[in-house]
A and B are shown apart, each in its own frame.
Chain A
Amino acid sequence: MSYLDEASLPLPFCPGCGHAKVTHAIDEALQILGRPKERVVVVTDIGCVGLTDRHFDTNAFHGLHGRSITYASGIKLADPDLTVVVVMGDGGAGIGGAHLLAAARRNIGICVIVANNFNYGMTGGQHSCTTPSGGITATCHLGNLEAPLDLMGTLRPSKPGFLARTSVFADDVPALIARGLATQGFSLVDIWDLCVAYYAGQNTLTRNSIADMMAELEMPAGVHFEGGRPEFARAWRDLYHPAETADDEGMCLLPPDAGLAPVAESILAARTGILIAGAAGQKIRSLATVFGAGAIMSGLHATQKDDYPITVMTGHSAAEVLVSPVPIVYTGIEVPDVVLILSEEGRARVARKLAKLPPESRVYVEASLGPVETQARVIPLDLKGAAKEVHRLAVGAVGVGTILAAEGIYPLEAFEAAARRLQKQKVADTNIAGLRAGAALAG
């Protein structure tokens, strides 16, 4: 049974073009493999070689220049039992080089056939990543200055499933493709090919001189690698999918959870914007989340936005929390009502905002940081001292405890419930102890 669509023949290539031989060799290899046509996908790249899929009586996918490996990988990942063949040119291998490398490293089970004719046939014979040094093409008419890519040598260190090189004139092409197709992991067959329209003529490359060129470039034919690494699509499932258990029926995606149902009641009258400014490492973000969750657990609405650099343990870390007895429409804090400053980095980060605060706003600041430049009311507190009694990392919780007690935003018990709900026990214990110390500090 041929895998070609007989009605679509003859193939559209120039007389003498090796792409026709490649197409027939793939068909022969598929016949050796014998899979049902519905389970075979031929994915082609752009270029003359990308005209082949039309002639296959299998699933056929013709994608963008250089990206055929990505579609093939998506297909294989989604349905690992499919036989997925990629047919691409040397042009596609060049522009899609990152995909080639990634696919080989993953060892994803696709079989890549490179119809390597040393130039871009379809666009009129420009040089490609495999054009030999000195080769003449439309875009290097005095000779190619680049060194050619050795596909075998490049991919071998990734230890994929199967790597082989041959030429369209060799007898082993169908057999090598069949071995590639039968490989579990990634396979690639680099088939040296004649572009009779452009490259072959200008460079006097012939059936006979291909073997000489292989010797000269030290890129011999033959099987270059066979490996036994697990195939990616199956290995991913084996590793990440949970082992099936007898009682997994009706399993929900997320554990049943009571969420942040109210446990207390807040008497907060108006929307209040709070800025917490500290240093990286002070757990500002998670603290702000617990603070906001505590608001929700006392019946309020809350929003949170964080501001932190991409580094960890250095620089600032700040969070904006908005709490409100009514749903929050606008999420911006135009004028913070309360600012909590825990560190020098935090103070520097919010300096512009501090300078603009009106007298009604309150700034709670770690006393050791010294004076704060603002018109707002400044309340210096020995937050660090109080935290020392609890835990080095509790300074933020101490600050929040102070604010909750002094500002009466919502009852402490709601924060405690939120910490218990969202944090590991030890962390919650620390934060709750810090919170209480802070509340005591506020008097």
Chain B
Amino acid sequence: MIEFLEGNDAVVRGALDAGCRFFAGYPITPATSILTGMMRAMPEAGGVAVQCEDEIASIGMCIGASMTGQKVLTATSGPGMSLYSENIGLAITGETPLVIVNVQRQGPATGSATKGADGDILFMRWGTSGGLPLIVLSPESVHECYTLTRAAFDLAERYRVPVILASQKEVGLTRERVDLDEARAAMPPSRPRDAAPTDRPYVPHAFEQPDDVAPLSPIGGPHLLRYTTSMHDERAWLTGDPAVISRMMEHLRRKIDDHADEIALFDHDPDVGAKNLVVSYGITARSAREAVARVRAAGGRVSLLVLKTLFPVPEAAIRAALIGIERVVVPEMNLGQYAREVQLFADGREVRSVTRMDTELVSPDDVIREGGLL
């Protein structure tokens, strides 16, 4: 069925189809329509959706509900992401599957409430204490608001980790022609939550290899569940033993970082003989696509890498795309954030950051001109 939908509507549909049956949120432009959309959708689906007293309660309720076995979602924008910060760390250490949608607005602080930016890209990765990894995906279209929301739920279950969908006003509140039935038909069924075997004692954070992920047994289910914000061993008991802590840090890091290739979602569009590569993501990827098409139409050569997974950084994809390339152009709607990640693999190549944070889109012309592509 062809529809004319906003990105936020597609997030709601994606969450429903992923099996999400719990939502808690707090109103904030430009994310509010996810809250109201979930309030409308949950009752029919047999789920629960509540407006909380603040964003801290929203994510807290989601974490609690997730530990009872529900797939959970919360949605906000920059100011609310700041309030989520401490609980994102809790979800990481407690290995709680959780999907967060950050419909970014131009910031800092209250910023331009109704205008877009990608100013939270590094904040989403590094915005909680401890520095341990989580997963960040970035949709460039209404269609991807659906498919990447589905993917976010699957990844959250697979790795027992918070997954953030880095949307923004220009995606979340732009209406586009989409066919979600087609999108649904092209996707595998959503991943159910793994059940823990009942014939042996349950160890909530068990792992043999550091990157193993234990199945989650729900609160109220067949096992007694222990959960703690404090540094713990595999049984979720407090520990001060450096050897145990070291193993736990390895586990929380490597269950994500060792699987970066599996988590990596991207489009690589190489141009034979191109010396320039454009790396982009989110709404700006569309400007990059248009710029690349114009350069090629004018007889120029340029390759394109569009990243849908931002964290863990798809290192292998970036390295592969860099082969034969002399210069990398990274357009983004901030003052140059992801360009720093790309720089890590540039091996002396010039990395040119094309930035804009005045609430306007980076235009294809900006990419061509400031990127020096023609």
Contact = CB atoms under 8 A, between A and B. Distances in A.
B345 to A, nearest CB: 27
A74 interface: yes
Nearest to B290: A330
A429 B340 CA distance: 55
B64 A332 contact: no
Interface centre among A62, A242, A261 (most CB of B within 10 A): A62
B342 interface: no
B219 A37 contact: no
Interface in B216-272: 219-230, 237-238
Interface string A256-284: 01111100000000000000000000000
A54 B3 CA distance: 52
A98 B173 contact: no
Interface string A314-330: 00000000000000111
A216 interface: no
B65 A296 contact: no
B286 interface: yes
B224 A330 contact: no
Interface centre among A70, A98, A233, A289 (most CB of B within 10 A): A70
Given A74-B24, A98-B57, A332-B363, A82 B220 contact: yes
Given A242-B43, A305-B174, A332-B363, A71 B2 contact: no
A318 B211 CA distance: 51
Contacts of B221: 38
Nearest to B291: A330
A293 interface: yes
A293 B68 CA distance: 42
Interface string A201-216: 0000000000000000
A167 B222 CA distance: 36
Interface in B3-51: 3-4, 16, 22, 24, 29, 41-46, 48, 50
A31 interface: no
B361 A304 contact: no
Nearest to A261: B2
A331 B64 contact: no
Instruction: Report the 3 A-B pairs with minimum CB-CB distance, sorted nearest first.
Output: A70-B60, A74-B64, A259-B1
A293 B4 contact: yes
A79 B219 contact: yes
A253 B45 contact: yes
Contact of B44 (A72, A81, A242): A242
B319 interface: no
B53 interface: yes
A354 to B, nearest CB: 17
Contacts of B114: 307
Contacts of B45: 253
14 contacts: A54-B238, A67-B56, A67-B57, A70-B61, A73-B60, A74-B64, A77-B61, A78-B64, A98-B57, A253-B44, A258-B1, A260-B177, A306-B173, A310-B29
A73 B1 contact: no
A303 B174 contact: yes
B53 A329 contact: no
A408 B218 CA distance: 60
B65 A102 contact: no
Contacts of A26: none
Nearest to B90: A64
Given A38-B221, A101-B53, A102-B53, A253 B290 contact: no
Given A79-B219, A304-B4, A63 B90 contact: yes
A83 to B, nearest CB: 10
A67 B94 CA distance: 15
A259 B363 CA distance: 32
Contacts of A296: 2, 4, 177
Interface of B: 1-4, 16, 22, 24, 29, 41-46, 48, 50, 52-54, 56-57, 59-70, 72, 86-87, 90, 114, 170, 173-177, 179, 219-230, 237-238, 283, 286-287, 289-290, 293, 360-361, 363-365
Interface in A50-98: 53-54, 57-64, 67, 70-75, 77-79, 81-82, 98
A224 interface: no
A334 B224 contact: no
B175 A79 contact: no
A292 interface: yes
Contact of A60 (B22, B63, B226): B226
B64 A72 contact: yes
Contact of B64 (A61, A253, A259, A305): A61
Interface centre among B46, B67, B361 (most CB of A within 10 A): B67
Contacts of B68: 74-75, 78-79, 82
A301 interface: yes
A388 interface: no
A99 B53 contact: yes
Interface centre among B22, B63, B364, B365 (most CB of A within 10 A): B63
A424 interface: no
A426 interface: no
A260 B4 contact: yes
B23 to A, nearest CB: 10
B57 A328 contact: no
Contacts of B63: 63, 71, 74
Contacts of B62: 74
A67 B227 CA distance: 14
B287 A330 contact: yes
A328 B229 contact: no
A254 B92 CA distance: 34
B194 to A, nearest CB: 18
Nearest to A305: B174
B92 to A, nearest CB: 13
Nearest to A294: B4
Contact of B57 (A70, A237, A293, A329): A70
Nearest to B283: A331
B90 A99 contact: no
A301 B286 CA distance: 15
A330 B170 CA distance: 11
A13 interface: no
